[in-house]
């Protein structure tokens, strides 16, 4: 059972504390936490479960905000972590992003949300759609209204009907003039290319995102043309397990609005859409860098917002890098980022320059890893294809839309 949740800002300030059980946790635990983060460096900052002298701490860091939960007794750590992740998702959904100011500005809503989401240290209502009905998200209309009338209540007077139904993710009976449902395939490509230029690992992590505005209680079925390529899947609670088990058909009553229907993984892909060829040669205290980026095979779609990031090794004193396309920035923490954008038709983008090594060092012995970013609209690189989307008892007019998008995930090129 979680006993307390703290929201900490990047500077270490406790922005918010919410005691969950009768066993109060003093906020001095946060001081302990920061002392140890400072003394042990990043290793503690990235450790999700910490055993402090008095409490066990779960920590999740999102956009500079640290969500810290405390417990003193045995509980599944993933439950604590997953819950904190949900909290951060809900908050960033409500507040349109997460940062110190936005939490402070809306602290009442944060309190009200936390109070609904967890009761006595056990999660109570985490379904975003119900929460939305219970506590209205701040929007420009309500803001203006509150200023004018002075009545700023965002707490709903009635219990959302969904809390009682057996499909808690769906609000009771929404009515829409236009019935529409949109299905997006959002994929992220993870790839590792080793020092020899060999593609070690290439897989796609994808999500099926559905945005549904359907009246009544719609029962949808979604099927894929090639479900066999899916390696692993995870489903939204609305998906019925048995039809998937037997026929690999997604049968579900969708929540209202946007939600993640399923996530999947496709492994062992053979190629990446772009190539990155870094060359580093060092001699006599200098290191020559040359990086080429290009399109490997044409999907017929343009590849957007290509970026390249790498961390200069600590033994490098200075760097002088230029590129023929895009801009190169070297940040204070020796992070170098090269944003290319779109690859021009006429030339191959290249980054070149020299790095000066520390004085005693002849040659470079540690090599940076290049992290690649890109975005391709309109294509799912895994090759997954949606076959059809059916609605039982279809209303007179139903708009269906499909889209696809692929981004780079953990795309790494070692040099």
Partner 1 sequence: MFPQFGATADTLSKASTMVFRIGTDAHLYDDPDDVSIAPLLDSKFDSEKCEALKRLLALIAQGIDVSNYFPQVVKNVASQSLEVKKLVYLYLLHYAEKRPNEALLSINYFQKDLGDPNPLVRAWALRTMAGIRLHVIAPLVLVAVGKCARDPSVYVRKCAANALPKLHDLRQEEHALAIEEIVGKLLNDHSPAVVGAAAAAFASVCPYNLSLIRRNYRKLCEILPDVEEWGQIALIGILLRYVIASHGLVKESIMFSLQCTESSHSVKDGSDADFGQVKESTDMGGTCDYEFVNMVSRCYIEGPDEYLSRSSYANRESFQLTDEQFTSGKSNDDVKILLYSTSPLLWSNNSAVVLAAAGVHWVMAPKEDVKRIIKPLLFLLRSSNASKYVVLCNIQVFAKAMPSLFAPYYEDFFICSSESYQVKALKLEILSSIATDSSISSIFKEFQDYIRDPDRRFAADTIAAIGLCAQRLPKMAHICVDGLLALTREEFVTKDFGFGDQEAGILTHAILSIKSIIKQDPPSHEKVIIQLVRSLDSIKVPAARAMIIWMVGEYSTLGEIIPRMLNTVLKYLAWCFTSEALETKLQILNTVCKVLVGATEDVWTFKKIFSYLVELAECDLNYDVRDRVRFLKKLQSSNLVSIGQEEGTNDLPEKDLLHVVAECILGRQTRKVKAESFSYRFYLPGSLSQIVLHAAPGYEPLPKPCSLLLDDRNVPEGTSEIKKTVADYSGTDDYGTSSEGSDDESASDYDSQHSVAESSGSGRGDDSEFTSEGNDNADPLIQISDFGNASENQNGVSQSGPANLGELMSDRALESWLDEQSGSSNPGISEQSQVRISSARISLGDVGKRVKPKCYSLLDPATSGNGLKVDYSFSSEISSMSHLLVCIEVFFKNCSSETISEITLVDEDSNRALDAADKAADVNQSSLASSDNVPTLVPMESIASLEPDQTARRILHVRFHHHLLPLKLALYCDGKKLPVKLRPDIGYFVKPLPMDVEVFIDRESRLPGMFEYTRSCAFTDHIEELNKENGDSLFVKDKFLAICESLALKILSNANLCLVSIDMPVAANLDDASGLRLRFSSEILSSSIPCLITITVEGKCSDPLNLSIKVNCEETVFGLNLLNRIANFLVERTLG
Q: Which is nearer to partner 1, 20 or 343 (CB)?
A: 20
Tell me the sheet residues that pair with 209. Answer: 184, 260
Smallest gap from residue 346 Cβ to partner 1 (A): 33
- CA atoms of 49 and 386, how far apart (whole Å): 40
Distance CA 273, CA 375 (A): 10
Quick one: 215 or 367, whose CB is closer to partner 1?
Answer: 367
- Least separation in angstroms between residue 138's CB and partner 1 is 7
Q: List the beta bridge partners of residue 190.
A: 203
Smallest distance, partner 1 to C-beta of residue 398, A: 26
Please state, as a whole number, how many other Cβ atoms lie within 10 Å of the Cβ of residue 58: 24
**Nearest to partner 1 of 295, 316 (CB atom):** 316
CA-to-CA dists, residue 80 to 15, 57, 338, angstroms = 20, 9, 38
DSSP type of residue 121: T
The alpha carbon dihedral of 243, 248, 249, 252 has a sign of positive
Minimum CB distance to partner 1 smaller for 184 or for 412:
412
Nearest to partner 1 of 213, 371 (CB atom): 371
Least distance in angstroms from the C-beta of 56 to partner 1: 6
* Least distance CB 142 / partner 1 (angstroms): 7
Choice between 24 and 296, CB closer to partner 1: 24
Nearest distance in Å: CB 34, partner 1: 14
Q: Which H helix or E strand runs over 243?
A: helix 241-247
Please give the Cα distance from 412 to 294 (Å, whole number): 15
- Distance (Å, rounded) from C-alpha 81 to C-alpha 86? 9
């Amino acid at each position: 059972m979680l006993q307390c949740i703290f929201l900490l800002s990047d500077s270490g300030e406790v922005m918010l504390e919410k005691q969950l059980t009768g066993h109060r946790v003093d906020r001095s635990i946060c001081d302990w936490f920061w002392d140890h983060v400072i003394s042990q460096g990043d290793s503690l900052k990235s450790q999700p479960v910490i055993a402090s002298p008095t409490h066990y701490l779960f920590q999740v860091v999102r956009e500079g905000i640290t969500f810290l939960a405390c417990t003193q007794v045995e509980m599944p750590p993933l439950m604590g972590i997953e819950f904190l992740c949900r909290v951060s998702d809900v908050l960033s959904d409500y507040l349109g992003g997460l940062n110190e100011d936005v939490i402070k500005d809306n602290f009442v809503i944060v309190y009200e949300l936390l109070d609904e989401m967890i009761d006595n240290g056990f999660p109570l209502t985490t379904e975003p759609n119900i929460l939305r009905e219970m506590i209205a998200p701040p929007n420009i209309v309500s803001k203006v209204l509150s200023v004018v009338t002075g009545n700023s209540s965002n707490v709903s007077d009635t219990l959302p009907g969904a809390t009682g139904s057996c499909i808690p993710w769906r609000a009771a009976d929404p009515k829409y003039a236009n019935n529409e449902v949109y299905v997006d395939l959002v994929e992220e490509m993870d790839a590792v290319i080793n020092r020899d230029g060999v593609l070690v690992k290439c897989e796609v992590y994808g999500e099926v995102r559905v945005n549904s505005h359907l009246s009544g209680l719609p029962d949808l079925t979604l099927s894929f043309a090639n479900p066999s390529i899916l390696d692993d899947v995870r489903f939204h609670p609305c998906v019925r397990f048995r039809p998937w088990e037997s026929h690999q058909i997604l049968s579900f009553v969708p929540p209202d609005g946007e939600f993640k229907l399923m996530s999947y993984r496709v492994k062992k892909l053979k190629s990446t859409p772009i190539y990155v060829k870094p060359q580093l040669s060092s001699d006599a205290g200098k290191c020559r860098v040359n990086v080429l980026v290009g399109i490997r095979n044409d999907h017929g779609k343009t590849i957007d917002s290509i970026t390249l990031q790498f961390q200069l090794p600590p033994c490098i004193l200075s760097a002088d890098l230029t590129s023929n396309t895009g801009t190169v920035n070297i940040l204070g923490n020796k992070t170098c980022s090269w944003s290319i954008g779109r690859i021009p038709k006429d030339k191959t983008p290249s980054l070149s320059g020299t790095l000066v090594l520390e004085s005693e060092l002849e040659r470079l012995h540690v090599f940076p890893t290049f992290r690649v970013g890109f975005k391709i609209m309109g294509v799912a690189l895994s090759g997954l294809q949606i076959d059809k989307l059916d609605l039982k008892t279809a209303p007179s007019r139903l708009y269906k839309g499909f889209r696809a998008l692929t981004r780079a995930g953990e795309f790494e090129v070692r040099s």
